[in-house]
Structure 1
Amino acid sequence: MRPRWFTETAADHSESYAERFRALAAEGADLAGEARFVDALVPPGSAVLDAGCGTGRLAAELHARGHDAVGVDVDPVLLQVAAADHVGPAWIEADLATLALGREFDAVVSAGNVMVFLAPGSEDDVVRRLAEHLAPDGVLVLGFRTDRHVQVVDVEASARGASLVAEQRFSTWDLRPWQDDSDFVVMTFRRPKESG
C-alpha cells in the first residue's frame, strides 16, 4: 500500500507543503524546535537520521549544529526542495517501511506527523526499521498528532516489539508535560546498550 501522504492528500500537496514552510521561514517563524530537542539528547557531532525529512528543515538545522545529518523521505518532490534549499545533509529517497541504509545512528527522529502519513498498517514495520538503524544506546524520537488514527499505546507497543525502552513523553517539542487529552505527542525510546 502507498503511504497516506500520497493517497489522502491533494495532488499538489507536496508543492503547497514546501511553499508553506518556505513562507514560514521567510516570515522568521521558529522552525527549529524539533532540532533543539534532538540536539539536547545527543553528544556533539552525533549521527542523526531525519526519517520523513520532507523539505529538510530539521536535518539542515541539525547539520548546522554540527551533527552528521541524513534525511530520508518517500516523496521525491520534497527531497528536491531539501536538496535545493539545504546544503550539507545527505538526502535519500526511501520508504520507511522498507528502510535499509546499512548504517547506524545515535538518534533517529521522525517529526512532522510522519507517523500519521504512513501506509495503512505499516506502523509496526516503520518503528522496527527505525529501531534497526539505532546504534546501541541510541534514541528514537517520534512526534505526531494524537487525534488521528495513530494511537500512543500502539506506537509504544511497536517500540517494545522492536526491543526499545520507552523513556519520555511530552505534549510539545518544548517539553510541556504530557496530558491524556494532549492532541500532540513527542515520545523518546532508547535502544539498550549491548551487554558484554
Structure 2
Amino acid sequence: MHQSPAPQRPVVLGSTSRYRRELLSRLNLPFEVASPDVDETPAPGEAPRDLALRLALAKARAVAKLHPEAVVIGSDQVADLSGQPLGKPGTHERAVQQLRQMRGQTVIFQTAVATVCQASGFEQVDIAPVEVRFRDLSDEEIERYLRAEQPYDCAGSAKSEGLGIALLDAIHSDDPTALIGLPLIRTCRMLRAAGVVLP
C-alpha cells in the first residue's frame, strides 16, 4: 500500500504590503496574510544590508510564533545610498529630500526574504540586492513625479513598477521582482526547500 503524500503546510505572508501580496499571488499558491509586529528601527551604525536581513527574519519569526505549523515568508527592503539606509518616506517633504539625495547616484535596494516554519525547524534568509542608477533629476521632475505617484510607502520613494521607472537610467538585478519588494526567484527556492509544492 503506497503512502498518500503529506498534506501541504499552509503558507503565510508575514507582511501587510499590498505589493508583496500581489507578487506572491503570481505563484498561484493559496496563502494567508498576517501582520508582523516588529520594530523596524535600525540599530546604531547598522548597515542597510544587515538591517534588511535582520528585519526579514524578525518578521518571519514573529508571524511563525502565531502560526507554528505554517511556512511563513518575511521580507524587508532598505534603500542603501552609500551605506546610509533610506526607508519609506511617509511624507511628501521627506520624499522630496530622498529623491534629491539620490539624483545622479547609484542606490542599492537591499531586498531580503526569510522563510521560517516553527514546526519543522526550517529557517532560511537571503538577500537580493538591486542596483539602481538614478537620472540627474530636476526639482520640477521630482515634484511632478511625487504629485502623480505619491510613493510615500515605498523605500527611497521610487516606485519602479509605476511612473518611477522614468526616474531611472538603469536597473541591475538577478531577481527581477526584488525591486518591487519580494524576490520571487529566491522565495520559490526557499518554499521548495521548506517542502512547499509549487503549482
Q: TM-score scaled to structure 1, two decimals? A: 0.31
Q: TM-score scaled to structure 2, two decimals? A: 0.30
